[in-house]
């Protein structure tokens, strides 16, 4: 199950109904807290998508409070369940988001016009494996290995790294990028 | 006895040092008259810093307004007199407050005391900023968002670190002396605690023999150290982001705090990277200058690391 949370709506509902810019740290903290509460209230969603399309301006403070700290909550042992993806990230959001991702050594999956993109702190092996999963998934390590000309053990190791970072998810039919529509659905 | 502080005819971040110098030599508690009668021009830095001068002492100061009608008219359009009248005992003819509707005043002088003020400033400036930055200064449309971000982060420094309200103003003008081009200038000034004391309040701060205003500025501006960094790795990115912004758009950043001043300087400017031993003035005074782009001069790419996503 995928749940969409519109950050613009959360901003106007929790901070001020006149705001369309995600600026200042208190604003970011209030929006993040409201999103976390929504995720908890909605229960067992598998993929939560945070939608930035209604957000005009995003500064570093809000990128840190919302994007980085939400990802950190998902990554922690007692953190939020499921997977977190983003959509509606436009050109003006990229610099603050990538800056905070690198600062915390984090990465995220973003959906843009029906295609998944990977932002943030990843090494070349992680990126190549992630892109192969995106392009060929759902897929298992034995099918992925020949595509990337690596051993099955290497492919399995990289898939495990990506899964532990919640950048891919393990499904019954193989590894896939979170938010990918299951075949036949 | 009243000490007279003479305001130079042309008031920018450099000439303002004469004001700080005169002020530093006046003992606390002594009456002060800030004499701007002969002032003819002031940058947003000059005007916002003049308001900070009034906030820097407990004793209320007097202020003699400029004599030249054009100067009075311009300072009035920036909103200066409206705020100055609350801080100074005004001497001379102060015009009635008018709205800033001139295109060169991108953001009139605005007080910043809380986070909501930052939302107000960023929201108010957006459309006009897009028109001026792209339309008049020939800058790529991508600058508008980054400009808003820079404005937001600069103002947040006041809210989070100054411990006292401050001022922001944004203006465009032709920078004849050094550049011969139009520039857009953001000035953010306060008379609060300043960088050194702010960083000293961090639980993780370790004082060294070398620790002073200059080192505090280096830590904050060059090494992204924040007093909140202890236990929160995400802090300190605001100034680092501002530094990247000026680098990308061939701009200049200068920050004065206490007795030191740091400058991130482009090729078109000859400012020194660090000035120490300046007369003490409380708080932080920051200026961001972005010049008009000439012809089809290329925009520097964002700092790219191996981990960056592919461009869309």
- Give CA–CA dist A107/A116, Å, rounded: 13
Of residues B187, B207, B210, B208, the one with CA closest to residue B284: B187
Whether residues A77 and A11 share a domain: the answer is: yes
Give the residue range(s) of CATH 3.30.565.10 domains in chain B: 103-294
Question: Is residue A102 less than 8 Å (CB to CB) from chain B?
Answer: yes
- Give CA–CA dist A34/A28, Å, rounded: 10
Count of structural domains, chain A:
2
A183: domain CATH number? 1.10.10.10
- Among B96-100, B164-168, B250-254, name the one with the lowest average pLDDT: B96-100
Whether residues A99 and A180 share a domain: the answer is: no
Q: Are A123 and A110 in contact (CB under 8 A)?
A: no
B103-294 folds as Heat Shock Protein 90 (3.30.565)
- Give CA–CA dist B82/B101, Å, rounded: 15
Q: A121: helix, coil or strand?
A: coil
Whether residues A61 and A134 share a domain: the answer is: no
A68, A103, A121 - which closes a domain: A121
Nearest chain A Cα distance for residue B274, angstroms: 26
Question: Is residue B304 less than 8 Å (CB to CB) from chain A?
Answer: no
pLDDT tier at B31 (50, 70, 90 boundaries)?
A: very high
Among the partner-chain residues A19, A94, A119, the one whose CB lies closest to the CB of B119 is A19
pLDDT, tens digit (0-9, with 9 covering 90-100), for B237-251 = 888 889 999 999 999
A121, A151, A166 - which closes a domain: A121
Best residue in A16, A19, A55, A61 for a mutation probing chain B (most B CBs within 10 Å): A61
Whether residues A25 and A66 share a domain: the answer is: yes
Q: Which residues, including other chains, have CB under 8 Å from residue A129's CB and lie 6 or more apart?
A: A144, A148, A155, A158, A159, A162
CB contact under 8 A, A92 and B160: no
Of residues A23, A20, A87, the one with CA closest to residue A53: A87
Look at residue B304 in the predicted model and tell me its pLDDT.
Answer: 39
Q: Nearest 5°: phi and psi at B275?
A: -120, 130
Kindly state the average pLDDT of the residues B284-311. 69
Q: Are B289 and B249 in contact (CB under 8 A)?
A: no
Question: Is residue A126 less than 8 Å (CB to CB) from chain B?
Answer: no
- Give CA–CA dist B270/B249, Å, rounded: 17
| Residues found in chain A | 185
Whether residues A142 and A95 share a domain: the answer is: no
- Give CA–CA dist B213/A53, Å, rounded: 42
Among the partner-chain residues B122, B145, B237, the one whose CB lies closest to the CB of A100 is B237
Chain A residues within an 8 Å CB radius of B139: none
Kindly state the average pLDDT of the residues B241-269. 94
- Give CA–CA dist B207/B144, Å, rounded: 40
- Give CA–CA dist B259/B224, Å, rounded: 20
pLDDT tier at B207 (50, 70, 90 boundaries)?
A: confident
pTM of the model: 0.86
pLDDT in single tens digits along all 185 residues of chain A: 788 999 999 998 887 777 779 999 999 999 999 999 988 888 766 899 999 999 989 999 999 999 999 999 988 877 778 899 999 999 889 999 999 999 999 999 999 989 999 999 999 999 999 999 999 989 999 999 999 999 999 999 999 999 999 999 999 999 999 998 765 54
Chain B residues within an 8 Å CB radius of A112: 312
What is the chain B residue with the closest CA to A108?
B309
- Give CA–CA dist B276/B219, Å, rounded: 15
Question: Is residue A156 less than 8 Å (CB to CB) from chain B?
Answer: no
Whether residues A94 and A135 share a domain: the answer is: no
Give the residue range(s) of CATH 3.30.750.24 domains in chain B: 1-98
pLDDT, tens digit (0-9, with 9 covering 90-100), for B114-143 = 989 999 999 888 878 888 888 888 888 888
- Give CA–CA dist B84/B42, Å, rounded: 14
B6 in the Ramachandran plot: left (φ > 0), alpha (ψ -120 to 50) or beta? beta
**What share of chain B has pLDDT > 90, as a percent?**
61
Question: Is residue B159 less than 8 Å (CB to CB) from chain A?
Answer: yes
Look at residue B252 in the predicted model and tell me its pLDDT.
Answer: 96
CB contact under 8 A, A112 and B302: no
Identify the DSSP state of A93.
H
Look at residue B46 in the predicted model and tell me its pLDDT.
Answer: 98
pLDDT at B66 over 90: yes
Whether residues A61 and A107 share a domain: the answer is: yes
Look at residue B128 in the predicted model and tell me its pLDDT.
Answer: 83
Whether residues A68 and A48 share a domain: the answer is: yes
Question: Is residue A125 less than 8 Å (CB to CB) from chain B?
Answer: no
Chain A residues within an 8 Å CB radius of B115: 24-27
What domain range includes position A163? 123-185
Whether residues A61 and A82 share a domain: the answer is: yes
pLDDT tier at B101 (50, 70, 90 boundaries)?
A: low
Mean pLDDT of all residues belonging to chain B? 87
Return the higher-pLDDT residue of B49 and B163: B49
Domain at B1-98: CATH architecture: 2-Layer Sandwich (3.30)
A78, A98, A121 - which closes a domain: A121
Look at residue A121 in the predicted model and tell me its pLDDT.
Answer: 95
Whether residues A7 and A73 share a domain: the answer is: yes
Whether residues A2 and A89 share a domain: the answer is: yes
Look at residue B99 in the predicted model and tell me its pLDDT.
Answer: 56
pLDDT at B110 over 50: yes
Among the partner-chain residues A94, A102, A117, the one whose CB lies closest to the CB of B305 is A102
Whether residues A42 and A112 share a domain: the answer is: yes
Question: Is residue B233 less than 8 Å (CB to CB) from chain A?
Answer: yes
């Amino acid at each position: 199950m995928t749940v969409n949370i519109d950050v613009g709506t959360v901003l106007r509902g929790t901070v001020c109904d006149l705001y369309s810019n995600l600026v200042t740290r208190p604003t970011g903290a209030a929006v993040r807290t409201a999103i976390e509460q929504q995720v908890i209230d909605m229960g067992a969603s598998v993929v939560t998508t945070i939608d930035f399309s209604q957000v005009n301006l995003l500064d570093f403070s809000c990128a840190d409070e919302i994007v980085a700290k939400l990802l950190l909550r998902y990554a922690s042992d007692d953190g939020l369940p499921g997977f977190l993806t983003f959509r509606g990230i436009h050109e003006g959001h990229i610099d603050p988001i990538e800056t905070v991702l690198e600062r915390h050594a984090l990465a995220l999956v973003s959906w843009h016009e029906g295609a998944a993109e990977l932002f943030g702190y990843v090494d070349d092996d992680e990126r190549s494996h992630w892109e192969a999963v995106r392009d060929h998934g759902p897929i298992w390590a034995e099918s992925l290995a020949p595509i990337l000309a690596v051993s099955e053990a290497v492919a399995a190791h990289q898939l495990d790294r990506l899964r532990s970072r919640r950048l891919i998810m393990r499904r019954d039919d193989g590894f896939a990028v979170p938010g990918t529509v299951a075949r036949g659905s | 006895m009243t000490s007279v502080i003479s305001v130079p005819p042309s008031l920018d971040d450099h000439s303002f040092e004469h004001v700080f110098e005169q002020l530093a030599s006046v003992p606390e508690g002594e009456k002060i008259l800030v004499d701007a009668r002969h002032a003819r021009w002031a940058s947003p830095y000059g005007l916002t810093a003049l308001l900070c001068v009034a906030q820097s002492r407990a004793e209320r100061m007097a202020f003699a307004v400029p004599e030249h009608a054009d100067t009075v008219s311009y300072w009035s359009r920036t909103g200066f007199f409206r705020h100055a009248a609350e801080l100074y005992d005004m001497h001379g003819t102060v015009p009635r407050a008018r709205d800033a509707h001139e295109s060169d005043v991108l953001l009139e002088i605005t007080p910043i005391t809380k986070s909501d003020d930052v939302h107000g400033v960023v929201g108010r400036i957006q459309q006009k900023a897009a028109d001026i930055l792209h339309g008049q200064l020939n800058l790529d449309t991508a600058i508008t968002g980054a400009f808003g971000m820079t404005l937001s982060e600069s103002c947040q420094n006041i809210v989070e670190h100054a411990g006292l309200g401050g001022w922001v103003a944004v203006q465009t003008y032709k920078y004849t002396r050094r550049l011969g081009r139009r520039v857009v200038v953001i000035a953010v000034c306060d008379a609060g605690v300043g960088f050194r004391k702010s960083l000293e309040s961090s639980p993780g701060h370790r004082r060294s023999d070398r620790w002073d205003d200059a080192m505090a500025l280096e830590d904050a501006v060059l090494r992204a150290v924040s007093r909140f960094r202890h236990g929160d790795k995400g802090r300190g990115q605001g100034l680092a982001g501002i530094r990247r912004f000026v680098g990308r758009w061939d701009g200049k950043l200068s920050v004065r705090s206490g007795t030191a001043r740091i400058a991130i300087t482009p090729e078109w400017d000859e400012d020194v990277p660090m000035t120490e031993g300046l007369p003490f003035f409380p708080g932080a005074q920051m200026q961001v200058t972005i010049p008009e782009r000439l012809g089809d001069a290329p925009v520097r790419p964002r700092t790219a690391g191996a981990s960056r996503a592919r461009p869309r």
